A and B are shown apart, each in its own frame.
Chain A
Amino acid sequence: MKILFSFLLLLSLVSCIEISDDITIKNDGSGTFRYKINLSESLVKVNSILALDSLNGKPVPSKAEISAKINEFVRLLDAQSGITNVLVEENYTDYIFKFSCDFTNIKQLQDAIRLTIEQITNEKYPVGAEQYWLSWDGTTLVRTIPAYFTQQIKNFKFEDDEKLKTGVYASITRFERPVASFENKLGALSKNQMSVLVRTNTFDLKNNQHLLDNTIVLTPR
């Protein structure tokens, strides 16, 4: 838990961060979830932090410890029902981390992530928190950010809020058929009509964790 906490602390100290979540939902409800964290713009900062033994009284994890934790996450997630092809790429030269997995249906994806977080942190998912942040009825997808993550973002005191404005969070949702409409005003539709991209900076996202919420309606089959 301490390593995970320290890793999150490290992320909070790095203002220039690019995050991308990318979910592909097929017509049958199965799909692929991809998540990328890009810290390459904060290379100097990340390396200077990792060179320390501790920061603000908390131990700074080594690259090996971070890697071990990531691999533990992958191992636990891979063991969850309905999850396959869990892959992770760790690039410690540019500090880019990419994760992807396939899922049988959206409920199983969310349950798997929740259970994995509970197992890895030895903490119960916050009582009262919404368990599902994605819903899909075959035509309409409603997506929010998981309450667990919004809580983490709220709790962290970022070192330099102003610099957070240079950070980027991109949320992409892809489908097998064209999108008829979507609600989020920050969203953009791809030329092929089958993907929606919502992009914001990490400062705005910290202040309003519902910025990426979206309801996307597809054309009938």
Chain B
Amino acid sequence: MPFSWAQLKSIQSEQLLPKDAVTVFSINNISLLQKISMDELVNYEFMSEVHQELFDGSTSGKTLKDAGLDFNQRLNLFYGKTNTHELTGFTFGVSDRKALFEVFDDFQNLESDIPGLAVYGTFFNNLMIKDNVALLIRIEPTMEHIDEVTDSIWFARGNEMPFDFFDDQISPDPENILDEETFEDNPNTNIFPEATENPLVKNYYELRDSVQMMLQEAALSAVIQEIFVQGANLYNTDTRFAAQLAHQAEGAFYLDNARNLDKSQGLWYFQTVLPTLYKDIQELYAGNVILGDLFLRDNQIDFEVDALYGPALGSIYQQMNDARFDKRVLDYIPASSPAYFTYNINLQQAYDQAFKVLLPLLSDEKNAQIAMNVLTLELLNEFINKEALFDTYKGSMFGTFNGIKKVTTKKIEFTYDEESFEYEERETQTQTDMPIFTMGFSTARPDIPELILKHMGRLTSRIQRFDNYWRIDNAILDAAPLYIINTGKLLILSNDEDLARFHSKGYGKEALGNKASKKAMRSGFMYGKVDVTQTLDRFPTEVLTPRNAEIVASLKGKSGQLELTSTETDAAHTRFKLSYHFEGQEAPGKHFLDLVNSLYVIYTLNP
């Protein structure tokens, strides 16, 4: 029976989510956000990255309440990517259309051939309102798709290559490849096609612009048809998502990792060159969905996540997480540590299971390179002493961030004699701020790292043996030493001299207390705790990758504690819980948005 809008007595904002949405944040209790100003809201990455241009003079000083949003409905932020386009936006309830357009005053009314559907547009976005629900969406065709369609039309019309990039005149000099070229400043640079003499015939770039616009319109039209005519939306097509929204939580999170993989640009090689293997990988990831609930409790926000996966992937995770917690690591985490984690996996079982699951997939592939890789893998599997390997690194590890400490490094100083101000260079010592990290893992073969260090120490004077530890000079950023402590059961690496010299047998009474230790031990395969104020505000983001730096930056300026726990893993899923405990009288709505924002940054940034 065809879909009829009238069948739905009361449509809700979540029923306007496009079925191609891969990531969704759904905020249920949006009354929390009533008092948050638009100016504040637009500072969040999830708003500013998506629809910054909506926020201008007309929104300044206004709140969501002023914008006529219906606070009895969910606010759903979404992001999706198909093989042809990307789509972002949000859906929400509308209680006062007049107020909405007074705040967002850039929208123009567009024609709509669907009864009861009002369509509006700005240069970037489209807004559809049906009854009291709205979908604000931006659709961008992917560059690859635009190029593909444009090239197809261009060459089908009998055109030659649109530009000659192989001309010596413009071949880039490798040394200056990063330099900006200033074509506009040089009218004699004749490398782009001129406008044609016949104004009705488009050059390549004009054609490409037209193609981009048509693809955008076609994709938008298809989404409108799907949602408002066929009634196909994410809520209807994915029962897991619908079930998640039924939870009594302030917010919900949905990420379909299987579809994420499907659209991953990084796998284009597999898609095009090894289609069978790509299909196998797809099957491996089938059912891999991450579902989450956000709960707002007294001075605490809990993000409870359920990572679901299919049987094949699940079997690997299950074996990987079948590990015993090594209590010894707790002796090396000081109670004063502002951030630490423990990670507890069984690498050998995970390897054996992955070998069992993945090798047949690879062996079936009829490709010379893959066949050679499979042969190498199988030979290594036969020849390598796996027991020694996995006894050396069993898989369980811990890490701590012990704040910023002064470390001694050398510097060169210029000095000037008084006679003639001739200068000399003098080597002196200086104190430099350095983040102190410690990382360690369980080992049943302490003799192997000892063997390596002993022989390396014979090769260079930079590696020296002390009573309880090894020191490698200038190992950290060519400036500070790295200390290696081999306890016989744990191998610990740190740039903390204090740990190496005075705590090589553990922190004793200064180590984590019973309560904190128990939490770490009972927390499945991983546990993490971060004092936000002490850690993130002081964390040197320069040492991180841009992606991780952005994640840390999104959490900076907050106060409180973050705690990550996990449950035991089985073949179907693993559960995680991220708790954000904050102090003081700060508005919970703001903390809620802070956390949503950080999660948005973590989950949506392109790797």
Contacts and interface: CB of A to CB of B under 8 A. Distances in A.
A52 B479 contact: no
Nearest to A168: B414
Most buried by A among B430, B433, B542, B546: B542
A44 B421 contact: no
B411 A40 contact: yes
A19 to B, nearest CB: 9
Nearest to B543: A48
Contact of A191 (B179, B420, B423, B543): B420
Interface residues of A, number: 39
A142 interface: no
A121 B451 CA distance: 53
B545 interface: yes
B417 to A, nearest CB: 8
A8 B477 CA distance: 21
Interface in B456-493: 476-480
Contact of B411 (A41, A59, A194, A195): A41
A87 interface: no
A190 interface: yes
A57 B414 CA distance: 34
Contacts of B421: 172, 174, 190, 195, 197
Contacts of A18: 413-414
Contact of A1 (B180, B409, B480): B180
Most interface-central of A18, A40, A45, A172 (chain B CB within 10 A): A40
B178 A54 contact: no
Q: Which of A22, A190, A192 has the most CB of B within 10 A?
A: A190
Main secondary structure of the interface of A (DSSP, over half): mixed
Contacts, number: 93
A66 interface: no
B477 A47 contact: yes
A186 interface: no
Nearest to A195: B421
Given A1-B180, A41-B430, A54 B419 contact: no
A170 B413 contact: no
Nearest to B433: A44
B124 interface: no
B165 interface: no
Contacts of B430: 41
A152 interface: no
B419 A45 contact: no
A122 B180 CA distance: 10
Contacts of B480: 44
Give the one of A13, A43, A47, A53 with max B CB within 10 A. Answer: A43
10 contacts: A18-B414, A38-B413, A40-B412, A44-B480, A68-B175, A122-B182, A170-B416, A191-B418, A194-B420, A197-B421
4 A-B pairs closest in CB distance: A47-B477, A41-B411, A40-B412, A195-B421
Given A49-B542, A59-B178, A94-B412, 8 more contacts: A38-B412, A40-B411, A43-B479, A45-B542, A51-B543, A170-B414, A172-B423, A191-B418
